[in-house]
Structure 1
Amino acid sequence: LQGKARSDMTVEERIGAADRRKMDGNALYQEEKLEEAMQQYEMAIAYMGDDFMFQLFGKYRDMALAVKNPCHLNMAACLIKLNRYEEAIGQCSIALGEDENNVKALFRRGKARAALGQTDAAREDFLKARKHAPQDKAIARELKLLAEHDKAVYQKQKEIYKGIFGPRPEPVPKPRNWLIFIWQWLLSVFNGLVSLFKRERFKSD
């Protein structure tokens, strides 16, 4: 089977070959060999291209998706660990295109979105995942982290606005000092003018 061209394989052979690649990828993932694991997942996915999937119906399509979708999700897991969040979102979205309620896909996409600071979109994914897995502790933990993040952001904004609109204890005396200085300067100018005027009058008298 190894030397057989993809186009010469039966549907079962092709799905079987993809599944073996997936298993190899999983073993490499366990060893934290993420780049190598992704290569195996990519090869598995290549066995099940769009043209191939398009021809499948019923149980064969289900069999193929049972191998293909986990490959996309395992790719996403690798990409998240490598901080390649945009690509991880892409892999999850492919799986969600086939199964919009896939909890693992929603959870991983949520994690990637949260890491990119897309908190609203992340929350949407986690809430949808929770609807299908209400007891899942990992989902609850992620939602809690988002809530804490929102609270911290809100506090920070409150501090900033307080700084802009509220009383600022430090710079208050300075304007007063300036006013006193200007007032004293004006007084001295005025006094100077008065004494000059008096002197002029005294001369003319």
Structure 2
Amino acid sequence: MATLQDKITSALASKDMGNEAFKQGDIHNALKQYHIAILALSGLDNQMAGVPMMSAMNPQNGQVSEEQKNVIKTNLAVVYANMAACHLKRNNYKRAIDVCNSALKNDPDNVKAKFRRGQAKSAEGNIAGAEADFLSLGENVPGVKAELEKLKKMSKEAEEKQRRTMGGFLSRGRIVTEEEELELEREKAAEAEAAAASSSSTSTKTTASTKPIPKSKPTVGSKASTKQKAKAVVKEEEYTPSTWSGTAPKIQELAEGEE
């Protein structure tokens, strides 16, 4: 009959096979081996809590030491965190978050579980959630600083996109769908084309209105009229102040000073 330690050793062997498959890029087999390890370790964990084992292993008789309990809990967290790495490779971010949560239930301080959960949240666009996970680890943990910088860039890009595409919708508490965003872009393009066409039309009209008007040649009648005006002006200029009484202003001065 297998002892508790034998069962722990078997479960850890499956975990190691999963690690090797992951290194070779065989994600399918890695998940399979991790699943076997989880079933074995979960069965042992249930047995410690007085629950019937869910795995095919026989119940364990005898007392379980605190050290063995810690080994089981710690390795459950490790295997779940390793499964998260597989799900990240497959871009299955929701499942990655789920197994990370399971890992942290068994070991709240598991660094890889927090880090990979932060990566999965970041990939889903949950910037605040990802930032909380990374900050809880501290920037001294390898990779955290780079992930935080990535989040800052994502946040800035998201803010710029909101300003550029949402406009007045945000002030009314409304979220713009992709279809509405495309419609806004089409409207902007149409307005730009209309403005360009209007500018071209105005330019053409301005050019036409600024053409010089050809001067008409003077006719015989206009020449005669001009001569008569000239004679009239001369006649007025030839006025002599012989009739000036000395008290009334000169006619010439009135003409120059009043309308």
In structure 1, the residue matched to 2:84 is 76
Q: How does 1:34-183 map to 2 (within 5 A)?
A: 34-49=27-42, 50-54=45-49, 56=64, 58-130=66-138, 134-160=139-165, 170=192
Q: How far apart in 2 are the matches of 1:28 and 1:160?
A: 45
Answer yes or no: is 1:17 the counterpart of 2:22.
Answer: no
* Contact 2:73-2:107 within 8 A present in 1 as well: no
Kept after mapping to 1: 8 A contact 2:74/2:107 = no
Q: Is the 8 A contact 1:109 1:125 kept in 2?
A: yes
Deviation at 1:119, TM superposition (A): 1.4
Contact 2:74–2:106 (CA under 8 A) maintained in structure 1: no
Deviation at 1:31, TM superposition (A): 0.3
Contact 1:107 1:126 in 2 (8 A): yes
**What is the rounded CA distance, in whole Å, between the counterparts of 1:173 and 1:117 in structure 2?**
38
Asked if the contact 1:79/1:88 (under 8 Å) is kept, the reply is yes
Tell me the TM-score normalized by structure 1.
0.71
Q: Which has the higher contact order (CA 8 A, sep 6+)?
A: 1
Aligned residues of 1:18 and 1:67 also touching (Cα < 8 A): no
Counterpart AA for 1:13: D
The answer to whether the Cα contact below 8 Å between 2:76 and 2:106 also exists between their aligned partners in 1 is no
CA drift at 1:159: 2.1
**Cα deviation code 1:9-55 (max 9, x no counterpart):** 21101100001001111111110000101100110111122423425
Secondary structure of the residue aligned to 1:147 is helix
Structure 1 residues 24, 148: CA separation in 2 closer, same or farther (over 3 Å shift)? Answer: same
Q: Say whether the 8 Å CA contact 2:38–2:76 is kept in structure 1.
A: yes
Which amino acid in the other structure matches residue 150 of structure 2?
Answer: L
CA distance in 2, matches of 1:144, 1:114: 12
Trace 1:186-201 onto structure 2 (pairs within 5 A): none
The one-letter code of the counterpart of 1:151 is: K
Q: Which of these two proteins has the greater Rg computed from alpha carbons?
A: 2
Question: Compared with structure 1, are the counterparts of its residues 148 and 9 closer, same or farther at alpha carbon in structure 2 (3 Å cutoff)?
Answer: same
CA contact (8 A) 1:110 1:125 kept: yes
Gaps of 5+ in 2: 51-63, 172-187, 199-259
Matched residue, 2:20:
27
User: Which letter maps to 1:110?
Assistant: G
* Number of equivalenced pairs: 164
Q: Secondary structure at the match of 1:89?
A: helix
> What is the CA-CA distance between 1:103 and the residue it aligns to?
1.6
Give the structure 2 partner of residue 199 of structure 1. none
- Matched position secondary structure for 1:48: helix
Question: Deviation of residue 163 (structure 1)?
Answer: 8.2
